[in-house]
A and B are shown apart, each in its own frame.
Chain A
């Protein structure tokens, strides 16, 4: 009965590869988010989708492309991975756009070698 789930939990890959992270929420929320957390624990929003439509894109390189096939899923595809992409990526959801209580997934630790 996990509320927000992400796969995979760990992802190790070489520079230049393309990879995807999947996120699903079973809370019936309208809005989903992707955050990046760096090695110093700084948490920064990347994207926000409301009912499958992009509403926030925080100057993320266009190598990052979110895809929302339906409002319960928000996947993150990353092309041409770089060393600086190594981080923990969190998916989150909230009932409404900008809704304060965001429910976070367990995170995906991406390591680019």
Chain B
């Protein structure tokens, strides 16, 4: 399934399926992007990052894809597990804004057993 990370939409997937969470960013000067996972009652936790000179980066069960042409970022989770249920945020580092992180609106991922 797919979802756009604005206004906390919810993506519901079956356990074992692949998940795709999308994020649109606005600043073409952003050169670094990160995905965070936030479980209920906890702080955001780093998942994976990617620099603007790359199109794809893979981690353990996760892949981040970056399309600079359309300013789009996606997080793919393979073989989604119940423990993946959380809110996922993309964040961008804008070099023209003091190198601070700007977070997107988040997407809630719900994994059905």
Residues of A within 8 A of B (CB): 4, 40-45, 48, 55-56, 58, 90, 92, 97-98, 100-107
Contact = CB atoms under 8 A, between A and B. Distances in A.
Contacts of A102: 46, 101
Given A55-B98, A98-B98, A102-B101, A43 B89 contact: yes
B45 to A, nearest CB: 7
B99 A45 contact: no
Contacts of B43: 4, 90, 92, 104-107
| Chain B contact patch, size range | 20 to 34
Nearest to B49: A100
B34 A40 contact: no
Contact of B42 (A40, A56, A92, A107): A107
Given A98-B99, A98-B100, 13 more contacts: A40-B7, A40-B105, A41-B38, A41-B105, A41-B106, A42-B105, A43-B103, A45-B100, A98-B98, A101-B34, A102-B46, A104-B45, A106-B42
